[in-house]
Amino acid sequence: MPRRLPLRLRTFSGHMVDVLDPDVDALSIVDIARGLALQCRYGGQVRWPFSIAQHSCLLVDHAVAALDATPVEALQVLCHDASEAYLCDLPKPVKHCGKLAAYKQIELRFEAVIADWLNLPAEPPVWLKRIDTDICVDERLALCPGYVADGSPLGIKIEPWSWHRAEREFMNRFTALTQPFYPRWHALPRQVSHGRVEALN
C-alpha cells in the first residue's frame, strides 16, 4: 500500500498540522483563538458576525456562574469547539445529515488530540451537551430573524463583539484557567505558545 502523504494545514502561527493525524507539538492556543474568533456560527446567516470564540466564552462564563464548574470542567467548556479552529464549523443540518462519517472521524480524532494536549479528561462534563444546546436558543433569538424558540434558553445576553475582542476574551479566559496549573506554558512567548502542557496537579 502506498504511503499516505500528509494533508497539512498551515496555521496562523506558521505550524503545519496534519488534518488526518494531528500532532500535539503542532497545536497552538494562538491558532485556536484566532481560528475560532474569525469563524461565524450558523453559516453566517445571522444579523451580525457571531464567532465560535464568543460562543465559547459565553458558555464557559455560564458554566462557572450557574453550574459551579471546576477549572478543569471550565477549560473543557472553553475548548469544546477547539477542533473547529482547524476543521471549520459546519452548520448543524450539514454536520448531522448522515453523509459525513469521514468528517466526524476526523473531528473526533482532533478532539481527542486536543484533550491529550491539554491533559484533560477524555469525556466532557455530563451537562455540557445540554447547555451547548440551550445556548443556541439564546443565540438564535438574538441573531436569526424570524426564529421562534424551540427550547429553553439559558438567559444569556447576546451582543456584538468584534473578532479582535472575541480572540482577546478567549485568550484571557484560557490564561486565567490554565496559569495556576501550567506555569511553564505561560513562560513561552505568546506568538509561539504550543506543545503539550504539564498534567494538572
**DSSP string of 77-142, one letter each residue:** HHTTTTTHHHH-PPPHHHHTSS--HHHHHHHHHHHHHHHHHTT--SSPPTTHHHHHHHHHHHHHHH
| 200 belongs to a structural domain | no
Show the domain range for 118. Answer: 18-126+162-176
Q: Under a CB-based contact definition with an 8 Å cutoff, are residues 178 and 188 in contact?
A: no
116 inside domain: yes
- What average pLDDT does range 81-91 have in this prediction? 94
Is 81 among the domain residues?
Answer: yes
pLDDT bracket for residue 126 (50, 70, 90) = very high
Q: 23 in a domain, yes or no? A: yes
Q: What is the average pLDDT across 126-139?
A: 98
* 106 lies in some domain: yes
CATH number of the structural domain spanning residue 31: 1.10.3210.10
C-alpha cell at 201: 496537579
Task: Look at residue 180 in the predicted model and tell me its pLDDT.
Answer: 78
Smallest CA-to-CA distance from 84 within 54, 62, 63, 53 is with 53
The answer to whether 50 and 42 have CB atoms below 8 angstroms apart is: yes
Q: What confidence tier does 59 reach under pLDDT thresholds 50, 70, 90?
A: very high
Q: Let me know if residue 143 belongs to a domain.
A: no
Angle at 39 between CA 96 and CA 112, to 5 degrees: 60
Cα dihedral 169→172→173→176 (10° resolution): -160
Is 186 within a domain?
A: no
Return the closest-CA partner of residue 191 out of 60, 48, 13: 13
Of 24-28, 30-34, 105-109, 192-196, minimum mean pLDDT range: 192-196
**pLDDT higher at 195 or 161:** 161
Residues 6 or more apart in contact with residue 15 via CB below 8 angstroms:
26, 27, 28, 31, 194
**Number of domains present in the structure of the chain:** 1
| DSSP type of residue 32 | H
Which three three-digit cell numbers place residue 145? 430573524
- pLDDT bucket at 181, cuts 50 / 70 / 90: confident
Q: What is the pLDDT of residue 195?
A: 40
Question: With 50 as the cut, is the pLDDT of residue 123 above it?
Answer: yes
Nearest to 52 by CA among 157, 60, 144: 60
Q: Is the pLDDT of residue 137 over 90?
A: yes
In this structure, is residue 24 part of a structural domain?
A: yes
End-to-end CA distance of the chain: 44
